[in-house]
């Protein structure tokens, strides 16, 4: 990932900023000292979100844009985070969201290709395993595909793996870093618990930890009983990923920035 000058202002755009993930994610980004401008875009509600966040005394200037404002939201952005789309209800898989969310993501990515072709794009909208390839093809068609700048956000899988592993090992979560590779749906999520120092588990315990990480999203969907999927933990995960990308773009020594994500790979 090429770094921008540390002195150039840093603009982040959140697309889907009025949603269950978008609002707390925007709040966390408003608190982030690396962000100079925060553009909140959605088809509803963003003037209110921006007015609300704008009263928090941190340096990020917040703007709220509706449908016609996509160009303004994206122009000058170095990072675009996309939680736009519908969430799951009980009994749904992430694939069931495909028909609606694929179209939403495609439209927003066309905007990125046109208005901020050099931005890092972080896609949260599910099914990530499909929305990222759709975004890649959309960018290719526009001549704006940079594989190293298109990421599916799988950070929540990492956070879940870390939490469940720390509980299993009776350790502080600070000391646990489980890499998670693969995709972001069920058995495509592959937590590598064996990479954690001193990790010990029976086959049964390992299977249970792996299964809980792979299907942790279902726990939240069921507990919310029709009111959607993970929003607060996902907002935190999206923030962690965004903050690390911004640190990279600002030219931090890359050795201390390691994030798992769903990216093109041979
Ligand atoms: P939500 O319904 O609360 O919010 C979605 C927002 O997107 C709404 O405010 C809606 O108005 C907006 N939106 C719809 N079409 C849009 C468009 N064309 N342009 C801009 N905004 C648009 O849903 P949520 O709970 O915030 O979830 C959002 C997405 O994130 C879902 O697809 C969900 O499955 C996904 N998700 C991903 C992860 C992950 O780990 N990657 C985790 C949880 C949820």
Query: Which one of 15, 18, 19, 161 would you pick to mutate in the ligand 1 pocket, going by the greatest count of ligand atoms within 8 A of its CB?
Result: 19
Ligand 1 binding pocket (C-beta < 6 A) is 15-16, 18-22, 41-44, 83-88, 97, 101, 104, 107-108, 124-126, 128, 153, 156, 184, 228-231, 234
Contact between 140 and 196 under an 8 Å Cβ cutoff? The reply is no
For the beta sheet containing 79-82, the strands, ordered from the edge strand earlier in sequence to the opposite edge, are: 61-65, 37-41, 11-15, 79-82, 120-123, 150-152
171 alpha carbon – ligand 1 mean position (Å) = 33
Closest Cα to atom 29 of ligand 1: 125
The predicted pLDDT at position 5 comes to 46
More confident call, 256 vs 172: 172
86 alpha carbon – ligand 1 mean position (Å) = 5
Closest Cα to atom 31 of ligand 1: 87
Q: Which of 134, 41, 50 is nearest to 81 (CA)?
A: 41
pLDDT tens-digit series, residues 185-241: 999 999 999 999 999 999 999 999 999 999 999 999 999 999 999 999 999 999 999
What distances in angstroms separate CA 163 from CA 193, 205, 260, one per listed residue? 12, 15, 16
Contact between 80 and 120 under an 8 Å Cβ cutoff? The reply is yes
- Please state whether beta strands 189-191 and 180-182 pair in parallel, antiparallel, or not at all (unpaired): antiparallel
97 alpha carbon – ligand 1 mean position (Å) = 10
**What is the residue-averaged pLDDT of the chain?**
95
Give first-to-last CA distance, the chain, whole Å.
Answer: 18
Residues pairing with 189 in the sheet:
182
The predicted pLDDT at position 249 comes to 93
HSE-up (13 A, CA, CB side) for residue 51: 4
Closest Cα to atom 20 of ligand 1: 42
The two tokens of residue 149 are 């700048």
Query: Which one of 22, 85, 229 would you pick to mutate in the ligand 1 pocket, going by the greatest count of ligand atoms within 8 A of its CB?
Result: 85
125 alpha carbon – ligand 1 mean position (Å) = 6
229 alpha carbon – ligand 1 mean position (Å) = 10
HSE-up (13 A, CA, CB side) for residue 136: 17
The predicted pLDDT at position 256 comes to 79
Active-site residue numbers?
184
The two tokens of residue 192 are 């590598």
pLDDT tens-digit series, residues 49-80: 999 999 999 999 999 999 999 999 999 999 99
Q: Which residues of 64-82 are buried (b: 16+ CB within 10 A; e: fewer)?
A: bbbeebbeebbebbbbbbb
The predicted pLDDT at position 266 comes to 82
The predicted pLDDT at position 149 comes to 97
Query: Which one of 84, 185, 235 would you pick to mutate in the ligand 1 pocket, going by the greatest count of ligand atoms within 8 A of its CB?
Result: 84
Q: Which of 258, 264, 164 is nearest to 214 (CA)?
A: 164
Query: Exposed, middle or buried by CB within 10 Å (0-12, 13-18, 19+), for 92?
Result: middle
19 alpha carbon – ligand 1 mean position (Å) = 6
């Amino acid at each position: 990932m090429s770094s921008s000058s540390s002195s150039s202002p840093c603009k982040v755009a959140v697309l889907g900023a009025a949603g269950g993930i978008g609002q707390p994610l925007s709040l966390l980004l408003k608190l982030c000292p690396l962000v100079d401008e925060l553009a909140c875009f959605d088809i509803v509600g963003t003037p209110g979100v921006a007015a609300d966040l704008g009263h928090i005394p941190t340096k990020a200037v917040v703007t709220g844009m509706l449908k016609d404002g996509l160009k303004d939201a994206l122009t000058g952005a170095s990072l675009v985070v996309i939680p736009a789309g519908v969430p799951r209800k009980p009994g749904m898989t992430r694939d069931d969201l495909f028909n609606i969310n694929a179209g939403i993501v495609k439209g927003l990515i066309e905007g990125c290709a046109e208005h901020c072709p050099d931005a890092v794009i972080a896609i949260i909208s599910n099914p990530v395993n499909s929305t990222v390839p759709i975004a890649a093809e959309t960018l290719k068609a526009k001549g704006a595909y940079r594989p190293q700048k298109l990421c599916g956000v799988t950070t929540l899988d990492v956070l879940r793996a870390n939490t469940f592993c720390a509980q299993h090992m009776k350790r502080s979560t600070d000391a646990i870093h489980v890499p998670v590779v693969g995709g972001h749906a069920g058995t495509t999520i592959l937590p590598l618990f064996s990479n954690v120092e001193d990790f010990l588990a029976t086959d049964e315990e390992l299977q249970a930890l792996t299964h809980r990480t792979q299907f942790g999203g279902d726990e939240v969907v069921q507990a919310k009983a029709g009111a959607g999927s993970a929003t607060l933990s996902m907002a935190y995960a999206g923030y962690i990923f965004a903050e690390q990308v911004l640190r990279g773009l600002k030219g931090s020594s890359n050795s201390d920035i390691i994030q798992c994500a769903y990216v093109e790979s041979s």
